[in-house]
C-alpha cells in the first residue's frame, strides 16, 4: 500500500496522534529557556522570551488535551504505544515537557511552577522505572536501539535543574545518579549499534542529535547541584561540545531527509547545548563562550523555526497523524 493510499484511508486522525508530539514542546521550551537566559545574562530585551512562553504553554496545553482525549477514546492505541519497543521511550517526552514548562513559567508564577515540577518529576521517575522494566522483561533486538532511548533516562538530569529548591538535595542526587549512570550504559549499546549493525532508518536519523543532550544537560545539572566548575563539569561540557562538532561533521546525513515528527529531535539538544554554553560563560566570564552562546542561539533559533515551519506545512497537507 502506497503512502498516498494510506493518507486517503478514512479514519479518525486522533487515533494515530503520537506521544512523540511532546517532542515539539521540548524543542519550543528549550528555545524559550535559551531566550530567557540570553536576556538575563546579556541584558537583551525579554519580549521574545515572553512571547515564546505564551506560545510554548499554548502548544503544551493543546498537545496535552489532544493526547488525553486519545486516552479516553482510543485506549487500545495508547496501550499499543506503551508496549512498542521504540515508542515507549517517547512517553518520557511528556514528563520532560512538563518539567520544562515548570522552568519556563517559574520567573512569572513560582507557586504554579512548583506544582507542575512535582507533577513532572513524579511522572518521569515512573516512566524511567517502567521503561527499564520493559527492557528487562522483553527480548529486544539491536535494531530497536536508537538515541531516543536516552529520553526516559537522561530526563532525570533535568529534575535537579528544574527543582528551584522544591526537593531535598538527596532526592536530586538520586535523579542525577540514574541519569549519569544509565547514559554511560546506553551510550555503549547505541554506539555498538551505530558501528557494527544496520544504519538507522531515515526517520530516526534526527535522533542522532540526542547524543548532544546527555552531557549538556548533565553539565547543567551537575553545576546546579555542586555549584562548582571542577574537572568533571569541564569534562561533561567538553563531551557535549565534541558531540556537537561531530554532528556538524555528519551534516550530509541530515540533508534531504524526508520530514517526520522525529525532526523535533534536532531542537531540544541544540537548546541544551546553547544553555550549557551560556552557563559556561557565566561561570568563566571567558569571551569565547559568550561568542559561542550567540552562535548556538542563532543556530538553535534557525533549527526550531525551520522544523516548526515544516511541521505546519505537513499538518496543512494532512501528512501528520496518519496510519504508518
DSSP single-letter state for residue 139? -
The number of domains in the chain is: 1
Q: Is residue 2 a part of any domain in this protein?
A: no
Residue with cell 504553554: 57
DSSP single-letter state for residue 252? G
Angstrom CA distances, 272 to 29, 37, 213, stand at 10, 12, 6
pLDDT band (50, 70, 90) for residue 282: very high
Q: Is residue 1 a part of any domain in this protein?
A: no
Highest mean pLDDT pick, 45-59, 187-201, 290-304? 290-304
Highest mean pLDDT pick, 138-142, 165-169, 284-288? 284-288
175-204 per-position pLDDT tens digit: 999 999 999 999 999 988 888 887 777 777
CATH code where residue 189 lies = 1.50.10.150
Domain extent at residue 246: 9-316
Distance in angstroms (rounded) separating the CA atoms of residues 154 and 285: 28
Q: Is residue 4 a part of any domain in this protein?
A: no
Q: Is residue 249 a part of any domain in this protein?
A: yes
Kindly state the average pLDDT of the residues 286-311. Answer: 94
| The predicted structure's pLDDT at residue 12 | 64
Q: Is residue 323 a part of any domain in this protein?
A: no
**If we measure between CA atoms, which residue out of 196, 206, 211 comes closest to residue 253?**
206
Kindly state the average pLDDT of the residues 165-170. Answer: 82
> CB neighbours (10 Å) of residue 135?
17
5-30 per-position pLDDT tens digit: 444 444 467 877 888 899 999 999 99
CB-count exposure of residue 207 (10 Å: 0-12, 13-18, 19+) = buried
**If we measure between CA atoms, which residue out of 222, 107, 232 comes closest to residue 164?**
107
CB-count exposure of residue 214 (10 Å: 0-12, 13-18, 19+) = buried
- What sign results for the dihedral spanned by CA atoms 200, 205, 211, 217? negative
Full-prediction pTM beyond 0.75?
A: yes
Q: Is residue 229 a part of any domain in this protein?
A: yes
Amino acid at each position: 500500500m502506497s503512502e498516498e493510499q494510506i493518507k486517503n484511508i478514512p479514519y479518525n486522525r486522533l487515533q494515530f496522534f503520537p506521544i512523540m508530539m511532546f517532542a515539539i514542546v521540548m524543542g519550543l521550551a528549550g528555545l524559550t529557556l535559551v531566550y530567557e537566559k540570553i536576556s538575563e545574562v546579556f541584558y537583551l530585551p525579554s519580549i521574545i522570551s515572553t512571547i515564546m512562553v505564551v506560545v510554548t504553554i499554548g502548544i503544551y496545553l493543546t498537545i496535552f488535551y489532544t493526547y488525553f482525549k486519545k486516552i479516553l477514546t482510543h485506549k487500545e492505541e495508547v496501550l499499543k504505544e506503551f508496549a512498542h519497543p521504540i515508542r515507549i521511550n517517547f512517553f518520557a517526552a511528556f514528563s520532560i515537557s512538563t518539567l520544562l514548562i515548570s522552568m519556563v513559567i517559574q520567573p512569572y508564577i513560582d507557586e504554579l511552577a512548583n506544582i507542575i515540577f512535582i507533577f513532572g518529576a513524579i511522572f518521569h521517575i515512573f516512566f524511567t522505572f517502567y521503561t527499564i522494566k520493559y527492557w528487562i522483561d522483553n527480548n529486544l533486538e539491536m535494531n530497536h536501539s536508537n538515541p531516543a532511548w536516552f529520553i526516559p533516562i537522561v530526563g532525570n538530569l533535568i529534575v535537579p535543574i528544574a527543582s528551584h529548591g522544591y526537593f531535598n538535595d538527596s532526592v536530586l542526587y538520586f535523579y542525577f545518579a540514574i541519569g549519569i549512570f544509565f547514559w554511560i550504559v546506553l551510550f555503549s549499546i547505541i554506539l555498538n549499534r551505530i558501528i557494527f549493525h544496520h544504519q538507522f532508518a531515515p526517520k530516526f536519523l534526527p535522533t542522532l542529535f540526542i547524543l548532544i543532550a546527555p552531557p549538556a544537560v548533565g553539565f547543567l545539572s551537575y553545576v546546579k547541584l555542586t555549584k562548582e566548575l571542577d574537572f568533571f563539569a569541564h569534562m561533561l561540557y567538553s563531551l557535549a561540545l565534541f558531540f556537537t562538532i561531530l554532528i556538524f561533521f555528519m551534516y550530509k546525513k541530515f540533508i534531504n531527509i524526508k520530514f517526520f515528527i522525529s525532526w523535533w529531535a534536532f531542537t531540544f539538544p541544540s537548546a541544551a547545548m546553547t544553555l550549557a554554553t551560556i552557563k559556561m560563560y557565566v561561570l568563566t566570564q571567558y569571551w569565547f563562550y559568550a561568542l559561542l552562546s550567540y552562535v548556538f542561539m542563532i543556530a538553535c533559533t534557525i533549527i526550531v523555526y525551520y522544523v516548526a515551519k515544516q511541521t505546519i506545512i505537513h499538518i496543512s497537507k494532512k501528512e501528520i497523524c496518519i496510519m504508518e
